[in-house]
Amino acid sequence: MKTFTGSNILSVDQFDREAIHTVFEVADRMEPYAHRKKRTRVLDGAILGNLFFEPSTRTRVSFGTAFNLLGGEVRETAGMNTSALSKGESLYDTARVLSSYSDVIAMRHPQSGSVAEFARGSRVPVINGGDGSNEHPTQALLDLYTIQKELQHQGRDIDGMHIAMVGDLRFGRTVHSLSKLLCLYKNIRFTLISPADLAMPDKVLAELDKVGHRVTITDQLEGHLDKSDILYLTRIQEERFPSQEEANKYRGKFRLNQSIYTQNCQSNTVIMHPLPRDSRAEANELDDDLNQHPNLAIFRQADNGVLIRMALFTLVLGVNNVIHHYDCPVQWLTSKSDQQGL
């Protein structure tokens, strides 16, 4: 990636190690703003078009929050039914119009490739918030940022680590993007645990193979976690199945709770999940009894999403080096600054 300014962020394929380093360095600098130690008005007057044509809580709200924390305004549309796309409007037309109302657009859509198609009609940079089962680049960046921080805390590195990915590896876009991003690192071991029907796509496996990462594929959770530094769980992506009955065949197949963790994992294995976790009884893929476990990184992961998205906005809009010129004090009572490091 040569420059961020004015660029779309559509795929992790755009990134090299240098670009990742830049994003992470800016994300680190966003902490005081996210923790309300100070404010910046660097994006005062700028407008984010936050277009979510598929369900989302974290990604949508964290894009909006990130933009607000930089002083910008957010215009939002959520759901397909309330959009003119449901009247047959093309992505190109929607993009031409909405991009004239915004300075940057974040978008999620159920079809693979849709965000790239939208970007072709847009006159402002477009950031992919998830396109079908294809990619979720900002999630992969925040996942990688979290992995780096968690391992650093243990005095270790991403190069040479062992990651186990569990669940719906076929339709889960987060594991596709994260695996591809990990191809930029050295000597990573993958244990891919899924039902055979929901295995990691060959295209992604081929990329792992090309860079020499070692991959073990299995449909068993127990007995395969003892070497992993990172355990990355995912939800069965029920919305991508032809019917709920079909999805139900797989929900609840892999579950992690305190006792399974203790029996199968190293004592320092970091537990990650992009969220939402399916907590309904028949699935309960990541049990509440791990909520207080120090190695459960899922909420730190979600918090890091704001830092990464703030970093991307400042880079794409070309203000990453002037943020501090627009600093101002926080006037209200805030407990956020006490949460740092939690």
- With a CB cutoff of 8 Å and minimum separation 6, the contacts of 87 are none
Q: How far is the CB of 136 from ligand NCD (least distance, A)?
A: 5
Q: Token pair for residue 77?
A: 């549309």
Angle among Cα 226, 228, 229 to the nearest 5 degrees reads 130
Q: Is 35 in the site for ligand NCD (CB under 6 A)?
A: no
Interface pick for ligand NCD out of 109, 136, 176, 251 (rule CB under 6 A): 136
Instruction: Give the per-residue contact string, 261-300, with ligand NCD (x = CB under 6 A; - = no).
Output: -------------xx-------------------------
Q: How far is the CB of 173 from ligand NCD (least distance, A)?
A: 5
Nearest to ligand NCD of 36, 58 (CB atom): 58
Residue of 35, 108, 109, 309 marked active site: 108
Q: Is 134 in the site for ligand NCD (CB under 6 A)?
A: no
Task: Determine the residue type at 326.
Answer: Y
Interface pick for ligand NCD out of 29, 37, 39, 58 (rule CB under 6 A): 58
Interface pick for ligand NCD out of 170, 173, 180, 309 (rule CB under 6 A): 173
Q: Are strands 39-40 and 327-328 parallel, antiparallel or unpaired?
A: antiparallel
Q: CB neighbours (10 Å) of residue 297?
A: 24
Interface pick for ligand NCD out of 64, 72, 125, 130 (rule CB under 6 A): 130
**What gap in Å lies between CA 21 and CA 265, rounded to an integer?**
30
**Active-site annotation holds for 82:** no
Q: How far is CA 47 from the centre of its chain?
A: 22
**What gap in Å lies between CA 324 and CA 330, rounded to an integer?**
14
CB 108 within 8 A of CB 53: yes
Strand partners, 215: 190
**Active-site annotation holds for 108:** yes
Helix axes 137-153, 173-182, angle to 10 degrees: 60
Q: Is 36 in the site for ligand NCD (CB under 6 A)?
A: no
**Active-site annotation holds for 153:** no
CB 321 within 8 A of CB 5: no
Nearest to ligand NCD of 200, 319 (CB atom): 200
Q: Is 167 in the site for ligand NCD (CB under 6 A)?
A: no
Q: Token pair for residue 173?
A: 């876009």
Q: Are strands 126-131 and 214-218 parallel, antiparallel or unpaired?
A: unpaired
Q: How far is the CB of 236 from ligand NCD (least distance, A)?
A: 8
Residue count, binding to ligand NCD (CB under 6 A): 11
Residue of 29, 37, 41, 58 marked active site: 58
Q: Is 235 in the site for ligand NCD (CB under 6 A)?
A: yes
Q: How far is the CB of 275 from ligand NCD (least distance, A)?
A: 5
Angle among Cα 245, 247, 249 to the nearest 5 degrees reads 75
Residue of 2, 17, 87, 210 marked active site: 87
The site for ligand NCD (CB under 6 A) is made up of 58-59, 130, 136, 139, 173-174, 235, 237, 274-275
Task: Give the residue numbers marked as catalytic.
Answer: 58-59, 87, 108, 136
